[in-house]
Amino acid sequence: MRQRNTGQRTGLLMLMLLLSFLLVVLPLAAYGESGDGPGDTQGVFKPLGLVSATLDDGASIVDTENVPLKPKITMHFDKNVVYLIYWERNKRCFHLYDENGKELALKLSKIDETADFSKRQYIWAEPVEALSPGTGYKLYVAPDLLAKNGGSTLSMSTGNQGVTIKFKTAGEKPAIHTGSVVFTENAPAEVATGKENTAPAVAPVKEQSSVAADGADGLAKSDPAVNENQNNEVPPGGDMTPSEAGAAEFAALEHGRRAQSMVAVGGGILLVGWVAVEVLRRKRRKG
pLDDT of residue 271: 78
Give domain status of residue 79, yes or no: yes
Banded model confidence at residue 132, pLDDT cuts 50, 70, 90: very high
pLDDT above 70 covers a percentage of the chain that reads 54
In this structure, the answer to whether residues 59 and 138 fall within a common structural domain is yes
Give domain status of residue 204, yes or no: yes
Give the model confidence (pLDDT) of 68-90 as tens digits.
Answer: 999 999 999 999 999 999 999 99
In this structure, the answer to whether residues 207 and 95 fall within a common structural domain is no
In this structure, the answer to whether residues 74 and 154 fall within a common structural domain is yes
Range of weakest confidence among 41-50, 71-80, 94-103: 41-50
In this structure, the answer to whether residues 162 and 52 fall within a common structural domain is yes
pLDDT of residue 215: 42
Give domain status of residue 241, yes or no: no
| Close Cβ partners of 269 (under 8 Å, ≥ 6 residues apart) | 16, 19, 20, 23
Give domain status of residue 236, yes or no: no
Q: Tell me how far CA of residue 202 lies from CA of 178, 181, 190, 191, in angstroms.
A: 14, 9, 15, 13
Give domain status of residue 237, yes or no: no
Give domain status of residue 183, yes or no: yes
Q: Hey, what's the torsion of the CAs at 228, 232, 233, 238, to 10 degrees?
A: -170
Of 176, 208, 243, which marks where a domain is finished? 176
pLDDT of residue 150: 94
- The domain in which residue 72 lies consists of 46-176
pLDDT of residue 74: 98
pLDDT of residue 257: 66
pLDDT of residue 178: 59
Give domain status of residue 38, yes or no: no
- Total domains in the fold of the chain: 3
In this structure, the answer to whether residues 201 and 273 fall within a common structural domain is no
Average pLDDT along the chain: 74
**CA pair distance 100, 106, nearest whole angstrom:** 17
pLDDT of residue 203: 45
**CA pair distance 197, 58, nearest whole angstrom:** 61
Banded model confidence at residue 191, pLDDT cuts 50, 70, 90: very low
Banded model confidence at residue 7, pLDDT cuts 50, 70, 90: low
In this structure, the answer to whether residues 277 and 215 fall within a common structural domain is no
**CA pair distance 117, 258, nearest whole angstrom:** 20
In this structure, the answer to whether residues 52 and 152 fall within a common structural domain is yes
Of 133, 149, 176, which marks where a domain is finished? 176
pLDDT of residue 273: 78
- Average pLDDT value for residue range 40-51: 80
pLDDT of residue 214: 46
pLDDT of residue 151: 94
- Average pLDDT value for residue range 163-177: 90
In this structure, the answer to whether residues 61 and 99 fall within a common structural domain is yes
In this structure, the answer to whether residues 10 and 97 fall within a common structural domain is no
pLDDT of residue 254: 63
Give domain status of residue 245, yes or no: no
- CATH assignment of the domain containing 101: 2.60.40.3780
pLDDT of residue 280: 79
In this structure, the answer to whether residues 143 and 26 fall within a common structural domain is no
| Close Cβ partners of 83 (under 8 Å, ≥ 6 residues apart) | 36, 113, 120, 147, 148
pLDDT of residue 212: 39
In this structure, the answer to whether residues 145 and 225 fall within a common structural domain is no
Q: Tell me how far CA of residue 61 lies from CA of 35, 54, 259, in angstroms.
A: 25, 5, 42
219 has pLDDT over 50: no
Stronger pLDDT, 92 or 243, i.e. the higher one: 92
In this structure, the answer to whether residues 168 and 59 fall within a common structural domain is yes
pLDDT of residue 57: 93
pLDDT of residue 247: 55
Specify whether the CB–CB gap between 272 and 16 falls below 8 A: yes
pLDDT of residue 36: 59
